[in-house]
Structure 1
Amino acid sequence: MTTRNLDALFEPRSIALIGASNHEGSVGAVLARNLLETGFQGPVMAVNPHAASIRSTLAYPSIADLPIAPDLAVIAIPAAGVPDLIAELGARGCRAAVVISAGFDAGEHGLRQKLLDAARPHLLRIVGPNCLGFISPGRGVNASFAQLTPAAGGLALVSQSGAITTAALDWAAPRGFGFSHVVSLGDQADVDFGDMLDYLALDPRTHAILLYVESIHDARKFMTAGRIAARSKPVVVIKAGRGAAGARAAFSHTGALAGSDAVYDAAFRRAGMLRVTGLRELFDAVATLTAGLRIEGERLAILTNGGGAGVMAADALEAAGGRLATISEAGRKRLAAVLPPTAGLGNPIDIIGDAQPDRYRAALEVLLEEPEADAVLVMNCPTAVADSTAAARAVVETVAGRSRPVLSCWLGDPSAAEGRRVLAAAGIPAHETPEEAVLAFQHLAAHRASQRQLLRAPSAGAPQADKAAARALVEAAMATGRDRLTDPEARALLAAYAIPVIESREAPTPKAAGAVAEALGGPVALKILSPDISHKSDIGGVMLGLTGAAAVEAAAAHMLESIGAQKPEARLEGFIVEAMAVRPRAEELIVGLTQDAVFGPVVLFGRGGIAVELEADRAVGLAPLDEVLADDLIGRTRVAKRLAGYRDRPPADRAALGRVLTALSQLAIDLPEVAELDINPLLADADGVLALDARVRLAKPGPASRPAIGPYPEGLDRQMVVQGIAMTVRPIRPQDAPRLTEMVAKSSAEDVRLRFRAGLHGLPDSWAERLAHIDYDREMALVAELPDGAIAGVARLAADPEALRAEFALMVRSDWSGRGLGSQLLGALLDYAAGRGLKEMWGDTDRDNARMLGLAEAAGFKRAAGDDPSRIRMTRAFP
């Protein structure tokens, strides 16, 4: 993961074009035109051994003949010659190249690998091959064969497809969108989405990032960089191939999701990105997200002068899963006082077709103060008795200075066009149809939800598990060459992770099964025991509600005969007999896990039972999960409404469900050999949960078994004593956010100023959540925890994408300052940094922070000038 030398790509001082041509219509000619006529201020050096000049500039026969070493090379020659050319460029001092050429096979000894091998010794970065190129309008660089150079602006577009890139530019130009960078990644031999997200997250010219994704090669890199980028600016993504994962025969229902579009959905959501379906929606979404609107909930108030238009908007909102705001009684009275008797005072609020600007103004003032309305959609249908443009101006005047988000929909064209222009100029998103306006509101709501997932602070971790017993069970099964667990083994695995399972016993023969049933008493379930049969009910391998030894024995004998005829090759090892679970008000659910080929372990939740495929009510999330993410996973299904209780059914124990999901998440990380697992059904009611049946498939772990999001780093805890008080130093957890707030509250104003350089009277909750919820792949924060659970100090570092240098910061609670805690915390952080292989740690502090300066010098840091003259930079190198 690196942004090294990408400055040579986006901020080059000189450019070489290899393959430049005067042949009209050729790629080399288009590249030359774009590079020479876009306004780049440095030299553009054309390389062509058969031409004296390219357009109006001198051409050079070879790289060796160039008068200076280029920062950036743009290459459009046959693929076979590119690796040698890259080696020559690297030796000359070139630091980045865009390879337009196609035809690089991906074999171990193919041209693609030769290309990378040639670049590696020189740390030369490669965009492509097989790409359109890139454009940085603000720098006057068009190193592409696109048909136009877009205007400069705040959007960055990163795409795998050159065709989609040119279509997006063509679509955006007449609509006034400008770009900071446009990058076509092509085959992503080197520079990929993760690299670009890392670079663009810190690029001051980029205010929003647009992605067109066909596939992800390095999920951990993508998720780490994406989560960091999405915290600072909107990231909107189109993922092609929504139906590309066709159906396949799977051992488990969860396994059938591996590689599916649902997993990409879960990944984008977890990364804080907003997913859209097409180019128009892509640009509409980014326009909405960059308009400065921030909503606090998902309830929309609709104000319209046309009842039908309001109904269309309400229908679109319901279809999208949104909610109409409930207008308070006080609000209805205020509306009644300013609207005609024929107006509709519900939601949508219909102010009638003859509504003049004053009526819009009066009604909107009421809605902007309604406590249940998280946003207001104002609509206008053109009529002969009212001026649409004047109504738009009234909306602009009313909204000015208000914080409540307002969207608009001025239907019609051309009579509504000027009104939309007036609204858009005032920063109010203006749409042409009710569906577009509602979709914009849903974009705001979805983006808010994904951002909250990035920052929310859960209250507890996954339940404790007997990991040793679980591993022994899995290894014993794999040692015998089996790729699945038996029914009893699967139950034992679940029990090791504290997942409640129903009592069951094995019986080798029908007679033994009858004896077990008699011993259990009451009605029982009889199931076939076979390592070769996964879905037992499909072939009559499950019989329920049997009572007494005779009935069970007869059923078992029939089951043997029937299954033997259907599956003569299957090994029938006996039966499982279990007491019937009598929980008439329980919901049947399915939970499971699988190892996705791209994103690693994935957890599923949904409506279960034998009709699970027909219901298709399920949601997936990436491991690791905590209870907050688990609860969100439950809430994204339709069955969540049933779990909330209805009629005579009390609410199910949702916390118990969350514990099952977090347990499965932990199991997937602890035991990557578990390739697929289904619990179906999992009963859930007010008394808790109970697993009735489980299937587990095993496989040797592969690269895809690594979680796309780094889990909590265990094994870093250490004990220390400060002035006789025992403390635990450990990595920070998301649930530490309230403790950070408490630590800052117990610190002096001067200590807070020195740490945060802001006039804070306390740590805002949003700051605390952000500081506590880190990406362990890139960041680390070690907290010193007192015996009462309070935090006495925090030492943190944030590494650069190359994981070579890291910035550090340290804060100790004021009442613990000067007692030796800071030096011990800093020492623990230095040990961690050295163990990670970092080459340097650095930090800036105020010149008057004598205590921090002395602490750092005692730890081996050297003083240097910082970027800010009022601060001193402290650096320490590692051997």
Structure 2
Amino acid sequence: MSIRNFDALFKPKTIALIGASNRARSVGSVLARNLFEGGFEGAVLPVNPKEEAIHSVRNFRSIAELPETPDLAIIATPPATVPGVVKELGERGCRAAVVITAGFGEGERAEGRALRQEMLNAARPHLMRILGPNCLGIMSPHKGINATFAHVGAKPGDIAFLSQSGAVAIAVLDWARSRGIGFSHLVSLGDKSDVDFGDLLDYLALDPQTRSIVLYVESIAHARKFMSAARMASRTKPVVVVKVGRSAAGAKAALSHTGALAGADAVYDAAFARAGLLRVKELGELFEAIAILGAGLKPRGEDLTIVTNGGGVGVLAADMAAEQGIDLPALTEEEVERLNAVLPDAWSRGNPVDILGDAPGARYTAALEGLVGSHRKGALLVLNCPTAVADSREAGQAVVETLKEHPDVAAITAWLGDGAAADARRTFAAHNIPTFETPEEAVRAYSHLVHYRRNQALLMETPDERASTRPDLEAARKIVSDVLGEGRDTLNEPEAKALLRAYGISTVATHIVASPQEAEEAARAIGAPVALKILSPDITHKSDVGGVALDLETPEAVGEQARHMLKVVAGNSPQARLTGFTVQEMVRRPGAVELIAGLASDPVFGPIVLFGQGGTAVEVIGDRAIGFPPLNSVLASDMIARTRISRLLAGYRDRPAADRAAIEHTLIRLADLAADLPEVVELDINPLLADEKGVVALDARVVVKAPEREGTRRFAIAPYPHDLARTIATRGGTDYLLRPVRPEDEARAVEMLKRCSLEDIRMRFFASIGVFTHAFAARMTQIDYDREMVFVAQPVGADGEPADEICGIARLAADPDNEAAEYAIIVRSDLKGQGLGYAMMSELLAYARKKGIASVFGDILKSNRAMLQMTHELGFTRTAESAEDGIVTMSVTV
């Protein structure tokens, strides 16, 4: 991740165009025209070895002739020349280049890939950033930059649009311009050889001209980088994404049901949701989503109340609401009574509130006033269809004036038609009221807001802290290493179940036998009824080849079935090695639900956890949810809720609800297994029976191989770094457990802050804070371990165990380039002066050194003499001072 030299990309003082041309309709000619006419206030320097001038602007024959060093270069020369051009620009001091040229490995051509690497090698010594190649270019309308070969420019606005496709970028430009939509930046990424989505999200998250970000994604290359940047950006502004390739989400060749179900598109879906992004399916939905997200609406609920002057359009809106899962709450008696007093007798007396086709502006005002004073928590959708007896403009103006009096009301409008309706829509837009052309568009846009808010809430929700036993890692690792040592890639059923038991997942005891006679004896020892299954290293799905028999009531029946099974399986799978059978007690839990839970490995995002409806038809049913390790109770619960089978798990009629906590525990343990055992590439528990008594794994399959990447480096999201926990001692002789913060620490962190003096709180947060909200505390305890670190200190008792309290919190947040990091620290007021703050700061600096961070800095109030003294003792020096704010910046090289 890096935003190094992005100032040269987005805010250059001088731009050079290498490959400028006068040839009509050539890329070099269009680029030159757009750069000259875009309004850029700096110098645009065209370079062409044969021309005197480009579009009447003085031309330079070579890069060496340029009168000044460009910050940004636009390159549109033949592919073979690009590495040399980049090298010459880098040596000249140019810090960023947009490579328009194609021919760098598209279609996996080896010569193109070699040329691309040569280009990157030429840029690297100079830290020169490359956007592209094979891209449309870049626009920053607020700076007057149009470095593209698009036929139309962009209006200044507050939407940043990042597109992997130049053609889509042009189409969106056309679409947006006809609707008056502007952009802060428009970036075509092309082949993403250097600058990618993660880099750009890092930059735009902090860009003051950007209020919302739109992504058009074809692929993601660096999953962890993307997830970190996307999670950070989505916490500061709305991020909407269109991901193409949904139809390519079919099952891949895999040895397990889990692997087959983990289609690439489903994984992207889960990734976007985990990062807090809103995914839409079509380009048309993009700007519906942006229009409503960018308006900053903050409904307190998710339902919708519709006010309309036409019954038909109200029904269209209601139908779309039902399709999108948006509730239309009934009117209360109080609301009906209030509206009866101001509306004609023929009004609908329900939701949608039909105020009739002759409704003037005053009737819209009366209806809205009758609703906004109630306790409705969702949004208002106000509709208007043109009629000959009422003025759409007047109605629109009335709505605007009414909503001015109620700024806290979340309202959306849809004025149908042209002419007066178009004028009304312009009025709404001018007052930042989301407006749409049809009721369906309006409701769908509102559903985007609802889903976006759900994703954001999920990001900030505090998980339960549940006590659990640690897995038997030694036993688990031995099972896997023994299988790999024997040259196998698949655990047999007993080995797979033993692995699950090592992680605290309940299984059915399974007996391995070599012959039908031994199967009969095992059944006699177990007692009827039993299940009989073929045992073979070559058979993945035993039921598909006749290798499963259930509810066998007698030992004789087991022996007979075993002999029959050998013949059937040998006929259906003649190449398979048959090594025996497994015999297990039949689990009879008549109200239990069959589930599937497992692990798979995605080529982009690494390990994933899968959950859904189980059974033999699992792939046909396709009811599944995907999550990313690490998991906690909140994330596991959300996975369950995203499946259709969750409705059965909630209980119905005389069937009690299944033990939800036991299912969540299973998913969390699978995520732990993925972290501990990188050799496990696929795992199935199918079926996993669940009822009010808990869960039990009836069958399991595990695929292993030597890991390509060690440990959790494969994860798209950095897991909790257990290895950083250590005991430290203060100069006062007290031992503390210093460990990374967990989301579950929220209550402890708040309790610690409550025990700090108001002055200490002001010293830490530069403000007096009386109430520590959930959102405030979640930002402190829910962190991206790949980007930042928060250490908490817990006192260690005489028994060597940490107390259930936090006494100090120290934070380090690095920039995207990992060059500098800002620290902040607070120690509980009654423990100050004992050396805990000094010890925590020493550990924080040691961590920064280990991460390769160059310098650490912090802002300190001048009145905070103790902190100034401590940083001085640790080698910090004063690097900045603000007399106005009374703040000193202290820095140290680590």
Matched, 1:269 2:273: yes
Matched, 1:683 2:689: yes
Equivalent residues of 1:864, 1:873 under 8 A apart: yes
Partner of 1:805: 820
Q: Give the counterpart of 1:539 among 534, 539, 545.
A: 545
CA distance change for structure 1 residues 757 and 27 in 2, over 3 Å: closer, same or farther? same
Deviations 1:398-418 (A, max 9, x none): 322341311122233345333
Compute the displacement of 1:462 (Å): 8.7
Equivalent residues of 2:550, 2:586 under 8 A apart: yes
**Partners of 2:418 and 2:650 in 1: CA distance:** 46
DSSP-derived class of the 2:190 partner = coil
Q: Give the counterpart of 1:651 among 643, 657, 663.
A: 657
Matched, 1:422 2:430: no
Partner of 1:520: 526
Partner of 2:282: 278
Deviations 1:259-314 (A, max 9, x none): 52111011111111111122221112111101010233322222333333223222
Matched, 1:774 2:783: yes
Deviations 1:320-348 (A, max 9, x none): 22223344444344444544454333333
DSSP-derived class of the 1:525 partner = strand
Q: Which amino acid counterpart does residue 679 of structure 2 have in structure 1?
A: E
Matched, 1:312 2:320: no
Matched, 1:217 2:221: yes
Compute the displacement of 1:454 (Å): 2.0
Q: Report which stretch shifted further, 167-176 or 98-107.
A: 98-107
Compute the displacement of 1:383 (Å): 3.2
Q: Which amino acid counterpart does residue 413 of structure 2 have in structure 1?
A: S
Partner of 1:440: 445
Q: Give the counterpart of 1:508 among 491, 500, 514.
A: 514
Q: Which amino acid counterpart does residue 207 of structure 2 have in structure 1?
A: D
Compute the displacement of 1:492 (Å): 0.8
Equivalent residues of 1:595, 1:705 under 8 A apart: no
Partner of 2:798: none
Q: Which amino acid counterpart does residue 756 of structure 2 have in structure 1?
A: S
CA distance change for structure 1 residues 803 and 615 in 2, over 3 Å: closer, same or farther? same
Matched, 1:451 2:467: no
Deviations 1:47-96 (A, max 9, x none): 11111111222222211222222111111111111111211111111111
Deviations 1:585-638 (A, max 9, x none): 111111111010001111111111122223221111122211101101111111
Q: Which amino acid counterpart does residue 712 of structure 1 have in structure 2?
A: Y
Matched, 1:747 2:764: no
CA distance change for structure 1 residues 90 and 298 in 2, over 3 Å: closer, same or farther? same
Q: Give the counterpart of 1:794 among 805, 809, 830.
A: 809
Equivalent residues of 1:517, 1:547 under 8 A apart: no
**Partners of 2:506 and 2:298 in 1: CA distance:** 42
CA distance change for structure 1 residues 404 and 726 in 2, over 3 Å: closer, same or farther? farther
Equivalent residues of 1:258, 1:597 under 8 A apart: no
Partner of 2:264: 260
Partner of 1:562: 568
Give 4+ residue runs of structure 1 displaced > 6 Å after superposition.
Answer: none
- For residues 723-872 of structure 1, what are the structure 2 equivalents within 5 Å? 723=732, 725-786=734-795, 787-866=802-881, 870-872=886-888
**Partners of 1:834 and 1:529 in 2: CA distance:** 53
Equivalent residues of 1:367, 1:373 under 8 A apart: no
CA distance change for structure 1 residues 462 and 428 in 2, over 3 Å: closer, same or farther? farther
Q: Report which stretch shifted further, 756-765 or 601-610.
A: 756-765
Compute the displacement of 1:438 (Å): 1.0
Compute the displacement of 1:474 (Å): 1.0
Q: Report which stretch shifted further, 52-61 or 583-592.
A: 52-61
Equivalent residues of 2:755, 2:828 under 8 A apart: yes
Matched, 1:10 2:10: yes
Equivalent residues of 2:249, 2:266 under 8 A apart: no
Matched, 1:413 2:428: no
Q: Which amino acid counterpart does residue 685 of structure 1 have in structure 2?
A: D
Q: Which amino acid counterpart does residue 21 of structure 1 have in structure 2?
A: S
DSSP-derived class of the 2:889 partner = strand
Matched, 1:874 2:890: yes
**Partners of 2:203 and 2:415 in 1: CA distance:** 39
Q: Which amino acid counterpart does residue 483 of structure 2 have in structure 1?
A: A
Partner of 1:716: 724
Q: Which amino acid counterpart does residue 66 of structure 2 have in structure 1?
A: L
Partner of 1:363: 367
Matched, 1:54 2:70: no
**Partners of 2:554 and 2:160 in 1: CA distance:** 71
Compute the displacement of 1:774 (Å): 0.6
- For residues 488-503 of structure 1, what are the structure 2 equivalents within 5 Å? 488-503=494-509
Equivalent residues of 1:606, 1:618 under 8 A apart: yes
Q: Which amino acid counterpart does residue 732 of structure 1 have in structure 2?
A: V
Equivalent residues of 2:160, 2:186 under 8 A apart: yes
**Partners of 1:515 and 1:370 in 2: CA distance:** 73
**Partners of 1:535 and 1:690 in 2: CA distance:** 19
Q: Which amino acid counterpart does residue 875 of structure 1 have in structure 2?
A: S
Deviations 1:231-286 (A, max 9, x none): 11111111111112443332122212445211101111111111112222111211
Compute the displacement of 1:17 (Å): 1.2
Aligned residues: 878
Equivalent residues of 1:532, 1:571 under 8 A apart: yes
**Partners of 1:434 and 1:252 in 2: CA distance:** 45
Q: Give the counterpart of 1:579 among 571, 585, 594.
A: 585
Compute the displacement of 1:426 (Å): 2.5
**Partners of 2:376 and 2:497 in 1: CA distance:** 47
Deviations 1:493-518 (A, max 9, x none): 11111111112211111111111111
DSSP-derived class of the 1:864 partner = strand
Q: Give the counterpart of 1:248 among 231, 252, 256.
A: 252
DSSP-derived class of the 1:680 partner = strand
**Partners of 2:518 and 2:233 in 1: CA distance:** 62
Q: Give the counterpart of 2:184 among 174, 180, 184.
A: 180
Q: Which amino acid counterpart does residue 713 of structure 1 have in structure 2?
A: P
**Partners of 2:198 and 2:49 in 1: CA distance:** 37
Q: Percent identity?
A: 55
CA distance change for structure 1 residues 433 and 537 in 2, over 3 Å: closer, same or farther? same
Deviations 1:633-678 (A, max 9, x none): 1111111111111100111111111111111111112222211111
Compute the displacement of 1:748 (Å): 1.6
**Partners of 1:92 and 1:257 in 2: CA distance:** 52
**Partners of 2:511 and 2:204 in 1: CA distance:** 59
Partner of 1:548: 554
DSSP-derived class of the 1:170 partner = helix
DSSP-derived class of the 1:103 partner = coil
Equivalent residues of 1:462, 1:666 under 8 A apart: no
Q: Report which stretch shifted further, 689-698 or 752-761.
A: 752-761
Deviations 1:345-397 (A, max 9, x none): 33333333344444433332343344353222222333344333333333223
Q: Which amino acid counterpart does residue 185 of structure 2 have in structure 1?
A: H
- For residues 119-134 of structure 1, what are the structure 2 equivalents within 5 Å? 119-134=123-138
| Structure 1 stretches lacking a partner, 5+ long | none
Q: Report which stretch shifted further, 690-699 or 247-256.
A: 247-256
Partner of 1:21: 21
Q: Which amino acid counterpart does residue 328 of structure 2 have in structure 1?
A: L
Partner of 2:328: 324
Q: Report which stretch shifted further, 491-500 or 716-725.
A: 716-725
When the two structures are superposed, what TM-score results if normalisation uses the length of structure 2? 0.95
**Partners of 2:371 and 2:446 in 1: CA distance:** 16
Equivalent residues of 1:259, 1:597 under 8 A apart: no
DSSP-derived class of the 1:416 partner = helix
Task: Note the aligned Cα RMSD (angstroms).
Answer: 1.9
Equivalent residues of 1:327, 1:372 under 8 A apart: no
Partner of 1:350: 354
Equivalent residues of 2:251, 2:263 under 8 A apart: no
Q: Which amino acid counterpart does residue 7 of structure 1 have in structure 2?
A: D
DSSP-derived class of the 2:29 partner = helix
